[in-house]
A and B are shown apart, each in its own frame.
Chain A
Amino acid sequence: MAMRLMLQGFIFAGALFAFTLARLMYLNISGVFCGPTDGANHAAPGECYYYQNFDRYKIGIRLHLYTIIREYSHSLAFCPFCNGY
């Protein structure tokens, strides 16, 4: 039981933690998120058409991406020594 709980803490917390760390670079929208780089570190194909051309989507994607900062602190909720957050 203890091992199972420990594993699930590591897995869930680790997944969330790694995800937030990986998404932190998307805060650079023009450079990375909608940047010219190839590969998977990018918005989904076609999305940046909206993100770059329309003001409402520019604001929206920024609001969406900035939530990763809060989610980073949420990943600490699994940390027992941190008392939740």
Chain B
Amino acid sequence: MVTNTRLSCRSARGSAIHTSHPTKVETRASHQRLHHRLAGVDRQCRSYHDRPRSLRRNNGNTVVGRRIVHLDYRRPRTCHLQRQDAADRPTQSMDAQDLVLRKTKLPARTSAQADMTVFHFSSIITLRIIMIISAQIISAAGDFWSVQNCAKLLDVIGDAQTLVEQYPSCSSLIDDGNLKAVAAVNANFGGSTAELMSALNISFGMAGWLATSLHAIGVEVYVSCLRDVLLCVPVLMPNSFTLLPRNLSVFARCPTNGNWKLGSRTLGTRAWSLGILRSRLWLVLLRSKQGSQVRFLVSCLKVTKYEYGGGKYLFAQTIEIPGFYGVLFQHGLNEQQRIFTARNKLRNRSTLQNAGSVHMPARQSPERVSKVTKKQRISSPNLPQHKSNTKHPRPA
């Protein structure tokens, strides 16, 4: 979205696609098309007709899909923010990006690792599998022995006479009461109970280490496939409605008091179904100031790039299981900068202040963030393409 390509929600067939005809573009976001009075008169005031019931009534073709909802956010607010842009508020002046996609500098595991640690608990199951397999292997080898306590052997066998017959060195336990008597027991998985015990005891330690390391490595491999995506959703109006894909709610983090907090639902928001399809969309009521941004950190699996309708997008698949679908993001940071460069040749330079505002991960101080973003914003349009590529490696 972004972009020199304008987007429209309507194709000839009435379904939602992106087109590149700037003159035909509607100036309202897809969800704001529902708020006719609001978009026409004053976008900042909510009227009686903007209550959520109107969304539920009119949710036919207008709220077309999760992709379009995000993509069309920018246009009305772009105009608004250009008017009120202030240089000292870099984070609030988000121009074309309703959604700024960045691969954050936080390690990818941060948001998902808390959920993935449960995999470690399953290592006891793997342990048993490995233990049984290896016990059978060393039984097939046949020449594995372990030293067992004779008191333990007596407890297993249960008969002193049999014990002494099978393991003559245990006679000191029976005769003299020597509790320290030991006997070498052959490891045989298919043999007697004592031999089975020997086989299991031999292989248990190895199986424990192997299972633990297998699960630890497996979780890390899986988590390393995740990408944390910093999703910046502008708040259009005070207490405005923002449509978010439902799967944002599970692994999303919403910053509260400057800290990232992991919430099963986004903190400070109320979410309920739009009535379209409960699995498709959440209607999130953001109790925030207008112009502020709500940032979500989303764990995504398999971020793929593709082009569609003249624009380049990222399709980030999140890892929630039911209602599973991806979120369509704009292409990465470099792509944004390049697009801004192209666009700013057409427009005046003041839009540069808005363009390409970079949102840093939460762990950095806001002062430093604003400096960096300002620098990047000023310098980026003049950079050649290859230079900006080397400077900011492309995410995903």
Contact = CB atoms under 8 A, between A and B. Distances in A.
Nearest to B122: A16
B105 interface: no
Nearest to B192: A45
B250 interface: yes
Contacts of B153: 46
B156 A5 contact: no
Nearest to A6: B321
A12 B119 contact: yes
Interface string A4-35: 01100100100110010000000000000000
A44 B115 contact: no
Contacts of A48: 155
Given A2-B324, A84-B115, A49 B121 contact: no
Given A6-B321, A49-B152, A77-B115, A12 B122 contact: yes
B119 A44 contact: no
Contacts, number: 67
A5 B122 contact: no
Contacts of A75: 118
Given A46-B152, A46-B197, A80 B250 contact: yes
A83 B325 CA distance: 18
Contacts of A2: 321, 324-325
Interface in B39-92: none
A5 B319 contact: yes
B320 interface: yes
B14 interface: no
B9 interface: no
B121 A71 contact: yes
B385 interface: no
Interface in B239-281: 250, 264-265
Contacts of B265: 83
A45 B153 CA distance: 9
Given A19-B124, A74-B118, 6 more contacts: A1-B301, A5-B301, A16-B118, A44-B201, A53-B155, A75-B118
